[in-house]
Amino acid sequence: MSKRDHTDDFFVFEPVTSADSPKIRRELIHNIEGTILMFLQKLNTFTGDGTIGKGGKRRRSSVLVRNIVIKSRVKGSKTSFVLSHRGICRFTRQFVALCQVYSLLIRDRKASKRDLYYEFKKVYMDSQVYLDNAISKICRFYHKPRHCFNVTSTSRGFAQGSLILTSEAGAEINFKPYPVAIGSELTHFNNVNMMADVILVVEKDTVFKRLVDDGIFDVIPNVLLVTGRGFPDICTRTFLRWLMDQNPVYLFGLVDCDPYGLSIYSTYKYGAVRSEIEANGCKLTEILLIGLFMDEVVQMNLADVHKLRITAHDKRRLQKIQNIAKIKKDDMLYEQARQMIEAGFKVELEALASKEPDFLLQKLILPKLRPYI
């Protein structure tokens, strides 16, 4: 799974509450209709008559004589839809997605991104990334989070540990026996039995599985283990935000000692501009990083085979992280990025197994979590 960059500049977005949903639905329907009308009016204005001859016959056609720019009229939005000769495919995808979400709002029904993608798979060029980009653009254009458009998504994240959720109908989800996929429906459970003293968020699925196999729930019984399996999706971050609002506990993050690890931690803590509106301004400012730190790596004297060279791309990412740290006045994050640039190498958590099989759990995690459990 590729790791994408979600660490651009940040801005303030006021989250939308569920109590506003009916009003927002009506507002969005009205605004989308206004956007379509505006497009049709501009299309009529900015097209000219062309003449095409074929087989001695002549017919009239509409020719785009200049770009059509549709600016958002929503307060706080600076996004525009642009129809140009070079961007006609992108514009088509955006407007098809707009028609899809309009249909959902009119019928007051929900659909996953996957459902929307398969409905017009060819339009999205057999890649859901194009739909994802279109939905994100729509969220920014109307300055509303994705759930306001009745669009859901399946989560990559998993959680396991001391947590039981119960619905009004009596349905129960016990996170103790096995990992539970983190979907948006989990936040609709009204009874939260949080027995965990701490939540530990790990970067990767491999580390998650390794800790389970090493017996983390025997060593630390009252823990909830969570992974976003790389860059955290909106479902995982929203679930964690909801849990912390329901039952505030200690929240810790464990990531690789590399630029992507710091980017992932930053995304959990501060969010990301590309998904700020789509994610309804979700941030986890309480999260504390417990590793893997560069000074720890240096003390471990790992073999050179585990030390991967910092590339030019890595360095640019680290510099971007330093900029974020400056904006947020996060000295720890800035220092970790600085040390990594200075060291010139990076290390993944899996490398700690070369020290001892259970080194990660027993020597790195347990000493740091012991004061909180």
Active site residues: 118
User: Which two structure tokens, joined as six digits, stand for 148?
Assistant: 């306001």
Region at 173 (left for phi over 0; alpha for psi -120 to 50; beta for the rest): beta
| DSSP state at residue 310 | P
Burial class from Cβ neighbours inside 10 Å (0-12, 13-18, 19+) for residue 251 reads buried
Burial class from Cβ neighbours inside 10 Å (0-12, 13-18, 19+) for residue 352 reads buried
Question: CA-CA distance, 84 to 69, in Å (whole number)?
Answer: 9
C-alpha dihedral, 302 to 308 to 312 to 318, nearest 10°: -50
Closest among 269, 268, 230, 224 to 250, alpha carbons compared: 224
Residue with the two structure tokens 């995304």: 267
Q: What are phi and psi of 303, to 5 degrees?
A: -65, 150
Residue with the two structure tokens 């979600």: 6
Reported as type and span, the H/E element at residue 31 is helix 21-45
Residue 306 has a CB neighbour count (10 Å cut-off) of 18
